[in-house]
Structure 1
Amino acid sequence: MTKPDNPDFSAQETLRLIGEAPVNWVPDIRGIDHNVTIIGGGQTGATFAFALRRAGIGKVNVIDAADDESHAGVWLTRARMNKLRTPKSLAGPELGLSGLSFQSWYEARRGAEAYASFDRISRIDWADYLKWYRNFLGIKIRYATKLLQIEPADGHFRLHLDVAGRHHIEMTRKIVLGNGVGGAGGAYVPPALSSLPKTHLAHTSEVIDFTGLKGKSIAVVGSAASAFDAAATALENGAANTHLFARRASIANVPINRVRGYPGAYDNYPHLPDAIRWKQALRFRAAGSTPPPDAIERVVRQSNFHLHLGAPWDVADVREGKVVTQIHGQTFDFDFVIAGTGYFADPAARPELVAFADKIRLWRDQYSPAADERDSSLEAHPYLGLAHEFLEKVPGQAPYLKDIHVYNPAGFVSFGLPIGDVPSIRRDVPAVVARISRDLFLADLDHHEKRITGSVDPEFSEQLYASAIWQAETIAAE
């Protein structure tokens, strides 16, 4: 199959056939800069921006703290896998428009045979596709713009922003938190590692200079996919050796979330009773996060990779420039430690949410599990509404919370896994956009009632059909 002269022909045809996006129908409000502000300019931000455009919602503001496009998102920065962990066939940012899909983009450039030849999408190819998606659709993202604080203000929000080092204040009506895996909490660092200096410790969520680890001995703590990816990247950049330490006696290898991945279960998961969702979250926590087989194969083929099972770190300190720990009575020393230990959810830990974090309903406020089903980590997750919105801990105390939509893994207990990434786009982006549309429409109902009941000029006069009006024949009386 030959590649077309214009690789964007299918995408252009798709946009032509669905027609122009609706004109912005949301009325301007004095003092309001944005109808919707999206925090995060990665795949989430771009997808929401396009979906809102197609819903006729204008004045959408997408911000990202990264300095520029090349440093935004995770795919060229903190993601270290060779291939995405999800099947290539999943629906994604195209939102049901095949001409905008990864497959269409890839086949237009390399052919159908090339697409058929691989099982999962290369991380670099995915990053290139997302760049094309943003540029082709004209998604405007304001880089070097960091959200400092969200301040409720007269039914809207005052955003405190750092824009290229200068403080800005802007007003918005709605907010979408598309700010990644740590977006409603942060990176979890175990107590045993928390006292280590940054010169000797990094979390997998951070940008790590792996070239600076060449020739050094590296410890990776954790056994999920990101830990194996970090270990492999260190070795591929010339680390002398890498030791990976897992708490479990074996690597988690049962992807239990697959049994609820069919459309009936996944699409309707948010409607499940709280008790069922809680037990599902507990079940996932007990089974553990499963790294894909190729992530493990990538390191085990290296002779200088060493795996330690049933080996949690209880203590670590720096002595003579080395990180020293004891595992099962054996002393180890390393030049650097990477924590692949996941994330925690806690709105109070996010500086941008501190003004009202204590008013957000958490799972601990909503559901009381049996004593043997308690889990403080899960209890700290926000209890989200059906459109991923924050809910009030006390009804009537903070009604503005419904205007903040959380599209990141903080929704794990409420929505199940996966959440906030490619597999959840098909279910969740339309639901959030539909709620934003409804809320904005009803908030301005007086305006819209006048608009939809306003006078309309006739399209034609009676003269158009006058000549065809039936005239009964008059029969003269005899």
Structure 2
Amino acid sequence: MANADLAARESLRLLGPDPAGWVPPTDGTDHDVAVIGAGQSGLTIAHALRRYGITRLTVLDAVDDEQHVGSWASRARMHTLRTGKTLVGPELGNPALGVRAWYEARYGPDAWAAIDRVPTADWIAYLTWFQRQVRVPVRRGVRVLRVEPGDAGRIRLHLRQQGRDSVETVRKLVLATGVEGIGGPRIPDEVAALSPAVFAHTGHDIDFAARRGRTVAVLGAAASAFDAAATALEAGAAEVHLFSRRDDLVVVRPGGVAPSPAAHDTFHHLPDDVRWKRRFAFAGSVPADSVVRATAHPNFRIHLAAPWQDATEAGGQVRVTAADGPHTFDFVIAGTGYQQDPRTRPELAGIAGRIARWQDRYEPPTELRSEHLGSFPYVGPGYELTARDSTDAAWVSAIHVFNAAASQSFGLPVGDIPSLRAGVPRLVDAIARDLVLADLHRPAPSAPAPASREEYAHALWKPATVAA
């Protein structure tokens, strides 16, 4: 790993130090930019901002753990990433900071050539290494209690750290909060009343060891659902039953045609009706290796065309009524994705009603209506939130969402690796533009005193008449 460290440091040395901060200090503010979340997106954004010369920034993360890089260690249950190894990630054009440089330094070029996707454990270790190389300072153990508008379009953050509360004012806020976005786990009504003793969402921390010898039901048929099912089986579950409302699985097999990067990069330019139709038609898929991992166990069963109608808790078990009949399980896991309604986030609840959602901006045809999609925030081209009322536009647009909440507006899962290559530069450019435009009214710095002519006075040309 020493070679990777040396190469990374040398690449940064050749780039030169981070530019001096060009944004003039603003009275009444603590930071020009605050980034919430220190996972792969938050670290990449902070590094890019500093390289742009925006230096009065802070990165906050609720987890007090130096090795914490998002939710990979606690909630990523796949053996490898779901994206190919060649995608540009946090390095943003600097190959010495990329996962390939790190991986080859650790395991050798032949090992890199032998894989098609990076093992999840290695990705976690790489992100820890990346943070160390770019030296992005993270304030850990800081929880955001409330976000509210401040004066002159600024944002006030109510924070708590080690039991002490404080308030900080920022000009720009970036929510780099991963799959939870500005919402949280999507809990179907059929299981909403179940207690934590018998129920969890894939977004929760789950004690799989406690499921040993138990019967487990998994609701959902996308990647996270299959990975949870396989993890339960590997932990010794007696049986695992996975339920899909569809009559077939959407399996992504190796060698398929990958979406064009241009399709992702330009999605936000499409008309609202086209974006809505494409997102409405989107079906959660599962990689073939995730299917094989689960189906390798003889005690795994897939129920197709079997949506749940009811689930009741009794005697420490869950009795389920599904389309294919009644069932009883010891534990239920919902692999049903995430909702992005800001009203469900405690820190955003006070301003949620002033944030425009898709249902405020677009009315789909009856056959394409979706309460789930309608609750997503309507996000602008710089990942900024938009206001329901124009009087709130200045401060609402100062909040940028580089997370799953922007997926309805940008098409791909924002915050995932494929979104970093084009998304982070677009976000940083939008933040810089807004800061420059906001400062146009501010007095220009005083001009320096005229320089002495002693170095060149003797070389000034004079007409012959003047010389005479």
Report TM bin, short chain.
over 0.9
TM-score, structure 1 normalization: 0.91
Provide Cα deviations, 1:79-113, integer angstroms capped at 9, x if missing partner.
Answer: 10000000110001011111111111111222211
Q: Which runs of 5+ in 2 are unaligned?
A: none
Secondary structure class of the residue paired with 2:397: helix
> Aligned with 1:54: secondary structure?
helix
Separation in 2, partners of 1:121, 1:144:
29
User: 1:437 matched to which residue of 2?
Assistant: 432
The aligned counterpart of 1:423 is: 418
Equivalent positions of 1:41-440 (< 5 A) are 41-154=38-151, 155-253=153-251, 261-284=259-282, 288-328=283-323, 330-440=325-435
SS of structure 2 residue aligned to 1:6? helix
Residues 218 and 293 (structure 1), Cα distance of their counterparts in 2 relative to 1, 3 Å cut: same
Match of 1:314, SS state, is strand
Q: Is the 1:71–1:77 contact (alpha carbons within 8 Å) kept by the matching residues of 2?
A: no
Letter in 2 for 1:344: Q
Partner of 1:476: none
Deviates more, 1:246-255 or 1:47-56: 246-255
Task: Tell me, in whole angstroms, the C-alpha distance in 1 between the residues paired with 2:458 and 2:69.
Answer: 65
The amino acid of 1:450's aligned partner reads A
Please tell me whether the aligned partners of residues 147 and 159 of structure 1 are also in contact (alpha carbons under 8 angstroms).
yes
Seq. identity, %: 45
Is contact 2:308–2:323 with CA below 8 Å preserved after alignment? no
Tell me if structure 1 keeps the 8 A contact 2:67–2:128.
Answer: no
- Give 1:22's match in structure 2, choosing from 19, 22, 34: 19
**What is the Cα deviation at residue 167 of structure 1?**
1.8
* Counterpart selection for 1:454 from 433, 441, 447: 447
- Give the number of equivalent residue pairs: 461
User: Which secondary structure does the structure 2 equivalent of 1:108 belong to?
Assistant: helix
The Cα of 1:262 is off from its aligned counterpart by 1.7
In structure 2, distance between residues paired with 1:435 and 1:70: 30
CA distance in 2 between partners of 1:16 and 1:252 (Å): 47
Query: How far apart, in 2, do the equivalents of 1:343 and 1:467 lie?
Result: 72
Q: Does the residue aligned with 2:191 lie in a helix, a strand or coil?
A: coil
Between 1:319-328 and 1:382-391, the stretch displaced more is 319-328
CA distance in 1: counterparts of 2:100 and 2:453, whole angstroms: 52
Instruction: State the SS of the aligned residue for 1:445.
Output: coil
Q: Is the CA contact (8 Å cut-off) linking 1:8 and 1:108 kept in structure 2?
A: no
Q: Matched residue of 2:80: which SS?
A: coil
Q: 2:174–2:402: 8 Å Cα contact kept in structure 1? A: yes
- Superposed displacement of residue 216, structure 1: 1.3
What is the CA-CA distance between 1:29 and the residue it aligns to?
2.4
SS at match of 1:94: coil
Is contact 2:148-2:156 (8 Å) kept?
A: yes
| Residues 318 and 329 in structure 2, CA contact (< 8 A), matched pair in contact too | yes
Note if contact 1:150-1:353 (Cα within 8 Å) is conserved in structure 2.
Answer: yes
The 1:455–1:61 alpha-carbon spacing in structure 2 relative to 1, beyond 3 Å, is: same
Contact 1:66–1:72 (Cα < 8 Å) also in 2: no
Kindly provide the amino acid, as one letter, of the partner of residue 19 in structure 1.
G
- C-alpha distance 230-28 of structure 1, shift in aligned 2 (>3 A): same
Distance 1:52 1:213 in 2: 44
Shift of 1:69: 3.1
**Mapped partners of 1:32, 1:282: distance in 2:** 41
Q: Give the Cα–Cα distance (whole angstroms) in 2 for the partners of residues 5 and 404 of structure 1.
A: 39
Measure the CA separation in 2 of the matches of 1:235 and 1:302: 7
One-letter amino acid of the counterpart of residue 376, structure 2: H
Structure 1 unaligned spans of 5+? 473-478
Q: CA RMSD in A?
A: 2.2
Which deviates more from structure 2 when the two are superposed, residues 6-15 or residues 238-247? 6-15
Any idea what SS the aligned residue of 2:139 has? coil
Normalised TM-score (structure 2): 0.93
Q: Distance in 2 between matches of 1:237 and 1:454?
A: 70
